C-alpha cells in the first residue's frame, strides 16, 4: 500500500509502503542495501535541492514583512537663508539658520494594510511549499513504483529462464530417446538464450531507474541494491465523492484561496492610499542679525489623493476577479485529473484480480497438463511453448495492471494530499 499522509505542522508528507517485501533478486543484500519508500522520502525531504530553496524564500518574505512594519523615518534638516548676498546681506551677519526635525504621519491604516499583504504572501508561500513538496514526493513515488515494477519483472524473467531450462532439459531427454528432433533442441536452447538476454536487459533497466531515483536526494549513484514494497497491495479505496471533497481542501486549491485573500489585502492597501499622509516639521530658527531664536512648525498634506488612486483600486479589484476564475478553472482541471486517475485505478485493480484469481491459475494448470502430455508424446513442442508463453504473458499483464493501479493511486494521493486507502 503506497499512501501519502500530510502533516501540515511541519510540511512533512510521508508515503507509507506495505510491510510485505517483494521477493528479492539478490538474496545476499544487507538491510542497509534495501530501500523502502519511507526511507526514500526521508532522504528526499532532507536532501532534495529543490525543496531546500524554500528556506531562503521564506526568509526573504519575513524580511520584507519586517520592513513593512516600520513606521516612516525621521529626517533632520538644516536650512540657511539670507547669506553671502550684497549690502547688508553680505556674509553671515543676516543669515537665518533653521534646524528642523520632520517626518510623516501615515493616515488610512497603511502600515496594517502593508503587513496584511505580506502575511497573505507568506500564507501563499507556505501552501505553495506544501503543493510543490507533494509534487516532488509524488514524482518520487511514481519513480519508486516504476522501479518496483521493473524489479517484479526481473523476478518474472528469472522464472522464464527456469521454465526455459526445464523445457530444454525435457527436449534433450526426448531427443536422446529419439522422440524429438535436433531442431527442437536447438529451438529450446535458443529460447533459453533469449530468456537470458531479456533478463539481462531488465537488470540494466533497473540499474538506470535506481540512479534516476537517487537524484531526488541529490545523489548521482544508487547506494542500494533492491527495493522493499508490495506491488500487489491496494487496500480499500474511498469513494470518489469523498476524494473530491479532499481535493477542494488540498494545498493546490488552497493556494488560490490564499491568492484571493492576498488580492483582498492588496485592495485594502490600494484603498489606504486614498488618504494622503500628513507631513510635519518642527524646528528652531536662528536670526543672526538680532541673535534671536524662534520655533518653527509646519504641516502639509497632498490634495485629491482619492481621485489619483482610483486606477490602483480598480486594478486590484480586477486582479482579484482573475484569481477567482483561476481557482474555478483549477478546480475543474483537478476534478478531471482525479476522475481519470480514480477510474483507471479501479479498472486496473479489477483487471489484476481477474488475472490473479482466474486467468493465471487456469494457465498454470494448462501448462502442467501440456508438459505432461508432451512428455507422453500426446502434444507437440509448439503446444508447450504456447502454454508457457501464455502464462508468462498473463503474469506480465498482471504486473502492468498492478503498476498502473498504484501509479494512479499515487496521482490521487498527490491531488488530495491524503491517503487513498483507509
DSSP string, 250-283: SHHHHHHHHHHHHHHHHHHHHHHTTSPPEEEEEE
Q: Which residue has the higher pLDDT, 55 or 148?
A: 148
- Per-residue pLDDT tens digits for 330-372: 889 989 999 999 999 999 999 999 999 999 999 999 999 999 9
Q: For the chain, list the domains and their CATH numbers.
A: 3-71+106-274+309-416 (1.20.1600.10)
Closest CA to 35 of 157, 44, 404: 44
Mean pLDDT of the chain: 82
- Per-residue pLDDT tens digits for 131-151: 888 889 999 999 999 999 999
Average pLDDT over residues 311-318: 77
Q: Which residue has the higher pLDDT, 399 or 237?
A: 399
Is residue 201 scored above 80 in pLDDT? yes
Q: Which three cell numbers stand for residue 95?
A: 543669515
**Percent of the chain scored above 90 by pLDDT?**
41
Closest CA to 138 of 6, 333, 329: 6
Give the dihedral of Cα atoms 311, 312, 313, 318; nearest 10 deg: 90
pLDDT the model gives residue 280: 79
CA distance 37 to 35: 7
Closest CA to 41 of 144, 129, 130, 128: 144
Average pLDDT over residues 368-382: 90
pLDDT the model gives residue 351: 96
> What are the Cα distances from residue 326, in Å, to 82, 240, 332, 334, 416?
63, 23, 10, 12, 19
pLDDT the model gives residue 189: 95
CA distance 263 to 121: 10
Amino acid at each position: 500500500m503506497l499512501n501519502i499522509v500530510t502533516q501540515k505542522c511541519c510540511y512533512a508528507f510521508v508515503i507509507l509502503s506495505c510491510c510485505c517485501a517483494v521477493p528479492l533478486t539478490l538474496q545476499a543484500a544487507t538491510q542497509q542495501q534495501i530501500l523502502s519508500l519511507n526511507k526514500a522520502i526521508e532522504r528526499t525531504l532532507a536532501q532534495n535541492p529543490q525543496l531546500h530553496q524554500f528556506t531562503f524564500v521564506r526568509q526573504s518574505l519575513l524580511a520584507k514583512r519586517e520592513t513593512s512594519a516600520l513606521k516612516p523615518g525621521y529626517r533632520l534638516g538644516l536650512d540657511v537663508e539670507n547669506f553671502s548676498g550684497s549690502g547688508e546681506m553680505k556674509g553671515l551677519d543676516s543669515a537665518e539658520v533653521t534646524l528642523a526635525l520632520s517626518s510623516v504621519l501615515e493616515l488610512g491604516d497603511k502600515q496594517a494594510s502593508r503587513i496584511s499583504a505580506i502575511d497573505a504572501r507568506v500564507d501563499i508561500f507556505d501552501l505553495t511549499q506544501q503543493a510543490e513538496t507533494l509534487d516532488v514526493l509524488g514524482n518520487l513515488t511514481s519513480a519508486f513504483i516504476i522501479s518496483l515494477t521493473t524489479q517484479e519483472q526481473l523476478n518474472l524473467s528469472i522464472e522464464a529462464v527456469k521454465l526455459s531450462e526445464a523445457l530444454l532439459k525435457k527436449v534433450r531427454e526426448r531427443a536422446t530417446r529419439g522422440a524429438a528432433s535436433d531442431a527442437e533442441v536447438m529451438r529450446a536452447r535458443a529460447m533459453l538464450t533469449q530468456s537470458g538476454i531479456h533478463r539481462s536487459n531488465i537488470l540494466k533497466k533497473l540499474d538506470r531507474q535506481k540512479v534516476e531515483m537517487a537524484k531526488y536526494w541529490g545523489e548521482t549513484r544508487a547506494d542500494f541494491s533492491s527495493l522493499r514494497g508490495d506491488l500487489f497491495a491496494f487496500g480499500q479505496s474511498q469513494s470518489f465523492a469523498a476524494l473530491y471533497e479532499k481535493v477542494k481542501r488540498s494545498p493546490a486549491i488552497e493556494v488560490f484561496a490564499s491568492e484571493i485573500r492576498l488580492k483582498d489585502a492588496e485592495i485594502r492597501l490600494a484603498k489606504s492610499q486614498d488618504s494622503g499622509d500628513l507631513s510635519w516639521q518642527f524646528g528652531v530658527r536662528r536670526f543672526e542679525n538680532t541673535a534671536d531664536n524662534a520655533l518653527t512648525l509646519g504641516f502639509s498634506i497632498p490634495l485629491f489623493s482619492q481621485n489619483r488612486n482610483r486606477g490602483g483600486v480598480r486594478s486590484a479589484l480586477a486582479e482579484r476577479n482573475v484569481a477567482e476564475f483561476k481557482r474555478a478553472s483549477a478546480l475543474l482541471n483537478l476534478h478531471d485529473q482525479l476522475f481519470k486517475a480514480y477510474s483507471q485505478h479501479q479498472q486496473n485493480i479489477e483487471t489484476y484480480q481477474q488475472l490473479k484469481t482466474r486467468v493465471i491459475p487456469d494457465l498454470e494448470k494448462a501448462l502442467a497438463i501440456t508438459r505432461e502430455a508432451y512428455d507422453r508424446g500426446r502434444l507437440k513442442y509448439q503446444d508447450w511453448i504456447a502454454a508457457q508463453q501464455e502464462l508468462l504473458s498473463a503474469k506480465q499483464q498482471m504486473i502492468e495492471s498492478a503498476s498502473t493501479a498504484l501509479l494512479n493511486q499515487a496521482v490521487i494521493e498527490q491531488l488530495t494530499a491524503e491517503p487513498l486507502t483507509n
